[in-house]
Amino acid sequence: MNTFTILVLARMIGGLGVGASLILAPMYIAEMSPPAIRGRMVSFNQLNIVIGISTAFFTNYLILRWGQSGAAWASAIMLDVHNWRWMLGLETLPAVLYFVGLYFVPKSPRWQILKGEVEEARVTLTRLAGEEEADKQIRDVLHSLEADKTREKASFKEIFQPALRLVLVIGVALAILQQITGINAVFFYAPMIFEQSGIGADASFVQAILVGLTNLVFTILALLFIDRLGRKPLLIVGMTGIAVMMMLLAWGFHSASYELTPQSIETLDESIDKQALTAGMSGITYPSDVLFRRALADVLGEEAAIVHESAIITAAIDINPGLILFGIIGFVASFAISIGPVHIVCRIY
């Protein structure tokens, strides 16, 4: 089994774990938190996710800088050669801490009561909210369970009834919109997007940090003002901003041109066939990345073109990087104040 296959499998398993925790963690927090602060506690989950993303951008930049520093210790641990492996490998530390910490997390009181472990649930709730609040919550859960026994069981088809149809459509649409906006692509590939806009690897990681900080700041603003301004106005403003910024980005990349000059070819890595590039592409202006990639594959061959594509595009592109930065920052800010925390809003309310 080659390393690429292992990488893909590991990312798939990691994705399953992250996806499960995104759903289970807020559910657990909601069950464990006293009603008075439940909304605030669930909101912290979203805030911590954003902080984690921002921290990842920052640590990746540090790894890149340390790898380029020429320090003996960095070379000794191969930080200069395998910096991307270190970026992925460092995820092990918070993952292990999370895994170990789960053994010290108490069971959900509601789950304990469902299993008949009322006294165990009382101990857990007393630790969290005090004896008086624990008794009250246990009574509420027991009352809820008794009510469930007398209530007719709902069938799956009832959610398609006319009374719930609009709610169902809105809920599904918001969930789809949250992903279809492309926010994950921006977060995952922000350094690559910035690098291919011609600003260089170092600057691309710095600007990726700026993206993370923007997400953090506007997520905090959304959580602070969502009750004052209402959810609908924030969604309207944010989705409008997303649409405008995506059109701006589309125009920015569409207006870019690609041309390799003898000077830009000389800056490329020695492993690239510079002679072939000079003979086949130097001095030719390509109006789109599609045509440029096609020509690159013809000149270097498909395999070599795929390997060196990113570096060559960075050397050839003529684009306004400030416009791209503004568009991505505006897109992230619009996402954070609107559709970003929407799953928390739905869960709380």
pLDDT digit string (tens) for 257-289?
888 888 888 888 888 888 888 888 888 888 888
CA distance 247 to 249: 5
Amino acid letter at 55? T
- Going by C-alpha positions, the residue among 152, 142, 132, 177 that lies closest to residue 346 is 177
**How does pLDDT run across 294-330, given as a tens digit for each residue?**
888 888 888 888 878 878 888 888 888 888 889 989 9
* Average pLDDT estimate for 22-31: 83
Residue 199: partners with Cβ closer than 8 Å, 6 or more residues away: 207, 321
**How does pLDDT run across 61-99, given as a tens digit for each residue?**
888 888 888 888 888 888 888 888 898 888 899 999 999
DSSP letters for 239-250:
HHHHHHHHHHHH
- Going by C-alpha positions, the residue among 200, 179, 199 that lies closest to residue 188 is 179
Amino acid letter at 92? T
- Confidence at residue 280, expressed as pLDDT on a 0 to 100 scale: 87
CA distance 85 to 79: 9
Helix-then-strand count for the chain, H and E: 18, 3
Our measurement of the distance from residue 41's CA atom to the centroid of its chain's CA atoms, rounded to an integer in Å, reads 21
Count other Cβ atoms within 10 Å, centred on residue 108. 16
- Confidence at residue 244, expressed as pLDDT on a 0 to 100 scale: 93
User: Which of 64-73, 110-119, 149-158, 236-245 is least confident?
Assistant: 149-158
Residue 46: partners with Cβ closer than 8 Å, 6 or more residues away: 219, 223, 340, 341, 344
Structure tokens at 57: 């951008």
**How does pLDDT run across 135-148, given as a tens digit for each residue?**
887 888 788 777 76
Fold (topology level) of 3-105+180-254+324-348: Growth Hormone; Chain: A; (1.20.1250)
CA distance 297 to 291: 10
- Confidence at residue 348, expressed as pLDDT on a 0 to 100 scale: 46
* Average pLDDT estimate for 206-211: 80
State the pLDDT confidence band at 52, using cuts at 50, 70 and 90.
Answer: confident
Residue 72: partners with Cβ closer than 8 Å, 6 or more residues away: none
- The residue ranges of every structural domain in the chain are 3-105+180-254+324-348, 257-318
Model-level pTM?
0.69
- Confidence at residue 1, expressed as pLDDT on a 0 to 100 scale: 58
**How does pLDDT run across 94-132, given as a tens digit for each residue?**
999 999 998 888 888 888 888 888 888 888 888 877 788
State the pLDDT confidence band at 341, using cuts at 50, 70 and 90.
Answer: low
Count other Cβ atoms within 10 Å, centred on residue 158. 9
Residue 269: partners with Cβ closer than 8 Å, 6 or more residues away: 308, 311
Higher pLDDT pick, 16 / 41: 16
- Confidence at residue 154, expressed as pLDDT on a 0 to 100 scale: 61
- Confidence at residue 349, expressed as pLDDT on a 0 to 100 scale: 44
Count other Cβ atoms within 10 Å, centred on residue 243. 13
DSSP SS3 for 189: helix
Structure tokens at 46: 């979203």
Structure tokens at 289: 């990345």
* Average pLDDT estimate for 198-204: 64
Q: Is there a contact between 262 and 275 (Cβ–Cβ < 8 Å)?
A: no
CA distance 313 to 277: 12
**How does pLDDT run across 168-186, given as a tens digit for each residue?**
887 788 777 777 877 877 7
Residue 258, H or E segment:
strand 257-259
